Chain A
Amino acid sequence: MCRPGAARYAGGYTGAPRGQLRNGRPARDTPGRGEACYRDGVLERREPAESAADDAELARRIAAGRPGEAGAAGEAEAELARRFAPRIRLFGLRRLRDPAAAQDLVQEVLVTTLEALRAGRVHEPERLASFILGTCRMTVANQRRAAQRQARLLAQFARDLEPEPDRPGGATLDRDRLADCLAELPARDRTVVALTFYAESGAEAIAAELETSAGHVRVLRHRALARLHDCLEGPR
């Protein structure tokens, strides 16, 4: 549940870390840590799971250490990578639609962040997540241009390439089980899932193809994905 009376989220952090560095501080009109939820069709602010204090403590431990040294700073750097690498990769996957480019983004953003922390250029450690998000946004603009060039080449050889692992070192989806779960969906739901993930069509475009409304497509899509989740993650 969202907190009663929570204000509508009027905008996200839009400043790039480079701007933070130049000014020495992030813009004053940016909101705090990312918090968002819907209630009654309105996106509201929410408290994330980890506290800003956790991130701030991590940032301070890294800033207090020397690059690459063992001990508290080294452990903090490893923890920062463990904590944020999956989130940066997620950001990259959604924006770039390319696992390799997303992995490049993870490395580039983590290196940039660690360098900034070590050099004492992150002036509000409790806003570490916002700093990293801003770095992601800035970096992805460059990655996207490179990915577009790569995509043109990859399209010619796509069938010869082995599929990328879902997430290096992480969980993968059981393909056979997913195939069974997809086969159990109603035909229309299955087509909506295919249009969403394979044709990468949005609700409006799918609605035009299926001669229905975008709202109905969203209902079908949500129902189908909830069923897939239950089918994949539930007991066999």
Chain B
Amino acid sequence: MTPEEEREFIRRRKSRNLVVAGTLLFFVILFYAITIARIGGQG
């Protein structure tokens, strides 16, 4: 792997990791909100 390819490899891996982390965080917040909404609906 050339240095350019390695930089590109790291850049792609980093951007993918950030998207996965953002998606996971989004779902954590969403499930919290769903729980609150459903508990509220039962009260």
Q: Do A and B bind each other?
A: no
Q: Taking beta carbons and an 8 Å cutoff, which residues of B are in contact with A?
A: none
Q: Taking beta carbons and an 8 Å cutoff, which residues of A are in contact with B?
A: none
